[in-house]
């Protein structure tokens, strides 16, 4: 982890790119104005760069004293919101990176009032944009340290935002690892490390245990790979928990499609098919830091989907522990098969909330694009809650219907259900309807989040760069923190 310093009085140093915010019409907070005067930066130099302080603008100037100043446009003070703050500090950090800065200093924007939400967002944008995955580069360009100047009253909120961003960055680090490094067993090791760091209970089921527990989906999908499957169960239990939450994450460490092998252009980037699992681990990291009042169980079915002599095949019929029989129509619709085991197991824990997250369908990306996750839940109140948190976090979600008329699509011919719809229309919905078959009646609230679009992006987008985004870690960490 890079060192972070929090101080009150700004000091400009040669080795640090110095980030300041600027409201429209080049209005600065008084402490920043003083610094600019000292550095000999007048308004004319900013005007010459066509910088006005509007939201989304960014400019940089090397001062006569040899300091690199970066200006983040904030627009109108009273129109500022969390996402604008994240984007503004995020673009400034990206500008600093473009200027090859390795150390950052930033003056917390002047929000004009005590505003914890904006201070947290400032930290989120700062640390999400500072992230880079450089483990395998011989020449590192990563940010080495960050100094932040802010008032004591917003310090706690700043550190809260830092916890959320670092939880998301932890997720990004694992998602970005390739399939030759993160096998199901390696993912289980990550879970164990996390659990021992925060004092969580952690059980890992190996093949024998999977057989005993009748986890037929995980066993079937896992059989086609030399790297054996695992099932991970982490438990966080505070004293007298107010609620019980189960989180489930799809952990396909690589999705080749299996015997229904993917064509080249669709197989690329399928190391990200474990993003749901990694998000669950990231949420658990945030929980370890924030210690909420609710009991949380993290469940991860982990497999590698490969074609092999032992691989499961189209036409195979699986009979799940809850009695449902499933005919395989495509070995590439593997995510729902392993999630089914986890949802049955999770239902037996009798949770108040069960939320699964998965890079489940290409259809969801077709429907919503790369920047929005699909949200499915029969519970209107819970949908509203999640959507409103998601608007605040900038991890965009959009509700899609669990349309009963589409249930016909996954009715089996020689089994109860099949793992793919009869037509390809509504593919994200039929996948969600499939999952619903494995959510027990006793589960009060269930939601499914299809993160196939936003989990991994291939171009720069707001405070993210190429690669994993860590969605929806921040939204769900906030949800759980607020639960009582
Ligand atoms: N992992 C894929 C879904 C996916 C696609 C994730 C693109 C991220 C980006 C999933 O296992 C899959 O292959 N789904 C199939 C389902 C089909 C066979 C019904 C798909 O979406 O094409
Ligand atoms: Zn697949
Ligand atoms: Zn998949």
Over the stretch 204-241, which tens digit does the pLDDT of each residue have? 999 999 999 999 999 999 999 999 999 999 999 999 99
Question: How many CA atoms are closer than 13 Å to the CA of 290, on its beta-carbon side?
Answer: 31
**Does the CB atom of residue 255 touch ligand 1 within 6 A?**
yes
Provide the 10 A C-beta neighbour count for residue 33: 14
Q: Say what the pLDDT of residue 114 is.
A: 82
Q: Can 197 be counted among the known catalytic residues?
A: no
- Going by pLDDT thresholds of 50, 70 and 90, the confidence category of residue 30 is confident
Provide the 10 A C-beta neighbour count for residue 440: 17
Q: Can 78 be counted among the known catalytic residues?
A: no
Q: How many angstroms separate the Cα of 297 from the Cα of each of 138, 206, 348, 386? A: 39, 18, 12, 19
Give me ligand 1 centre to Cα 333, in Å: 6
Q: Say what the pLDDT of residue 113 is.
A: 80
Q: Say what the pLDDT of residue 440 is.
A: 98
Mutate to test the pocket of ligand 1, among 217, 257, 306, 333 (most ligand atoms within 8 A of CB): 333
Distance CA 410, CA 340 (A): 15
**Does the CB atom of residue 365 touch ligand 1 within 6 A?**
yes
Distance CA 278, CA 283 (A): 9
CB-based contacts of 266, cutoff 8 Å, min separation 6? 257, 362
Q: Which helix (H) or strand (E) holds 103?
A: strand 103-107
Distance CA 245, CA 346 (A): 9
Ligand 1 atom with the shortest distance to the CA of 427: 19
What is the rounded average pLDDT of the residues 143-171? Answer: 97
- Going by pLDDT thresholds of 50, 70 and 90, the confidence category of residue 89 is very high
Ligand 1 atom with the shortest distance to the CA of 266: 7
**The one catalytic residue among 213, 262, 269, 422:** 262
Distance CA 233, CA 216 (A): 17
Mutate to test the pocket of ligand 1, among 275, 360, 423 (most ligand atoms within 8 A of CB): 360
The percentage of residues in the chain with a pLDDT greater than 70, rounded to a whole number, is: 100
Contact predicate 73/88, CB 8 Å: yes
Write the residue with the smallest CA distance to atom 17 of ligand 1.
333
Write the residue with the smallest CA distance to atom 11 of ligand 1.
333
Q: Which ligand lies nearest the alpha carbon of 330?
A: 1
**The one catalytic residue among 336, 396, 474, 481:** 336
What is the rounded average pLDDT of the residues 408-433? Answer: 98
pLDDT in tens, 69-87: 999 999 999 999 999 999 9
Contact predicate 97/143, CB 8 Å: yes
The percentage of residues in the chain with a pLDDT greater than 90, rounded to a whole number, is: 97
Q: Say what the pLDDT of residue 38 is.
A: 93
Neighbours of ion ligand 3 (CB under 5 A): 252, 255, 273, 335
Global confidence as pTM? 0.98
Q: Say what the pLDDT of residue 484 is.
A: 84
Q: Which helix (H) or strand (E) holds 106?
A: strand 103-107
**Does the CB atom of residue 166 touch ligand 1 within 6 A?**
no
Give me ligand 2 centre to Cα 447, in Å: 21
Distance CA 141, CA 144 (A): 9
Provide the 10 A C-beta neighbour count for residue 13: 11
- Going by pLDDT thresholds of 50, 70 and 90, the confidence category of residue 394 is very high
**Does the CB atom of residue 337 touch ligand 1 within 6 A?**
no
Q: Nearest CA to 340 among 406, 428, 248? A: 248
- Going by pLDDT thresholds of 50, 70 and 90, the confidence category of residue 265 is very high
**Beta bridge mates, 234:** 202, 298
What is the rounded average pLDDT of the residues 376-383? Answer: 98
Give me ligand 1 centre to Cα 251, in Å: 13
Give me ligand 2 centre to Cα 354, in Å: 23
Q: Is 3's pLDDT higher than 90?
A: no
Distance CA 450, CA 469 (A): 14
Q: Nearest CA to 393 among 169, 34, 120, 51? A: 120
Q: Is 383's pLDDT higher than 60?
A: yes
pLDDT in tens, 285-299: 999 999 999 999 999
Q: Nearest CA to 249 among 171, 329, 331? A: 171
Q: Say what the pLDDT of residue 454 is.
A: 98
Distance CA 336, CA 448 (A): 11
Phi-psi region of 112 (alpha: psi -120 to 50; beta: other; left: phi over 0): left
Q: Is 1's pLDDT higher than 70?
A: no
Distance CA 445, CA 353 (A): 5
Query: Phi and psi at residue 352, in whole multiples of 5°?
Result: -75, -35
Contact predicate 97/68, CB 8 Å: no
**Strands, E assignment, 320-415:** 325-327, 353-358, 373-376, 397-399
The rounded mean pLDDT for the chain is 97
State the pairing for strand pair 317-319/325-327. antiparallel
Q: Is 376's pLDDT higher than 60?
A: yes
What is the rounded average pLDDT of the residues 396-415? Answer: 98
Distance CA 180, CA 183 (A): 7
**Which DSSP category does 461 fall into?**
B
Q: Is 110's pLDDT higher than 60?
A: yes
CB-based contacts of 384, cutoff 8 Å, min separation 6? none
Distance CA 468, CA 132 (A): 10
Name the one residue in this structure whose structure tokens are 């990694």.
278
């Amino acid at each position: 982890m890079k060192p972070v310093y929090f101080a009150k009085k700004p000091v400009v140093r040669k080795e640090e790119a110095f980030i300041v915010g600027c409201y429209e019409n080049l209005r600065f907070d008084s402490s920043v104005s003083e610094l600019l005067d000292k550095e000999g930066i007048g308004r004319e130099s900013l005007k010459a760069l066509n910088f006005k302080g509007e939201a989304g603008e960014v400019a940089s100037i090397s001062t006569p004293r040899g300091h690199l100043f970066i200006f983040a446009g904030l627009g109108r003070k009273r129109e500022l919101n969390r996402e604008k703050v994240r984007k503004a500090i995020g673009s400034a950090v990206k500008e600093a990176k473009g200027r090859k800065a390795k150390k950052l200093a930033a003056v917390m924007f002047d929000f004009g009032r005590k505003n914890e939400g904006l201070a947290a967002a400032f930290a989120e944008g700062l640390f999400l944009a500072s992230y880079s995955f450089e483990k395998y580069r011989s020449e590192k360009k990563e940010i080495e340290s960050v100094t932040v100047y802010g008032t004591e009253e917003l310090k706690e909120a700043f550190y809260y935002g830092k916890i959320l961003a670092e939880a998301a960055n932890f997720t990004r680090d694992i998602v970005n690892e390739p399939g030759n490094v993160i096998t199901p067993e390696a993912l289980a090791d990550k879970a164990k490390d996390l659990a021992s760091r925060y004092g969580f209970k952690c059980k890992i089921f190996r093949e024998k245990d999977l057989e005993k527990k009748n986890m037929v989906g995980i066993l079937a999908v896992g059989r086609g790979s030399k790297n054996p499957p695992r099932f991970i169960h982490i438990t966080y239990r505070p004293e007298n928990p107010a609620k019980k939450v189960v989180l489930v994450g799809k952990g396909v460490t690589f999705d080749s499609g299996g015997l229904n092998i993917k064509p080249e252009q669709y197989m690329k980037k399928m190391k990200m098919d474990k993003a749901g699992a990694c998000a669950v681990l990231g949420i658990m990291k945030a929980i370890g830091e924030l210690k909420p009042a609710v009991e949380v169980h993290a469940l991860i079915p982990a497999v590698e989907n490969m074609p092999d002599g032992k691989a499961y095949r189209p036409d195979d019929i699986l009979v799940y522990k809850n009695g449902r029989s499933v005919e395989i129509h495509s070995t590439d619709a593997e995510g729902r098969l392993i999630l089914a085991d986890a949802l049955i197991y999770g239902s037996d824990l009798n949770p108040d909330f069960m939320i699964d997250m998965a890079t489940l369908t290409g259809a969801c990306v077709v429907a919503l694009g790369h920047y929005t996750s699909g949200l499915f839940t029969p519970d209107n109140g819970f949908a509203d809650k999640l959507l409103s948190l998601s608007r605040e976090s900038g991890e965009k979600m959009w509700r899609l219907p669990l349309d009963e008329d589409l249930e016909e699509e996954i009715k089996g011919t020689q089994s109860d259900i099949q793992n793919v719809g009869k037509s390809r229309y509504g593919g994200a919905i039929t996948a969600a309807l499939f999952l619903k078959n494995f959510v027990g009646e006793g589960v009060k609230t269930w939601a499914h989040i299809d993160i196939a679009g936003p989990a991994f992006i291939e171009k720069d987008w707001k405070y993210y760069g190429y690669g994993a985004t860590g969605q929806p870690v921040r939204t769900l960490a906030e949800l759980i923190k607020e639960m009582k």
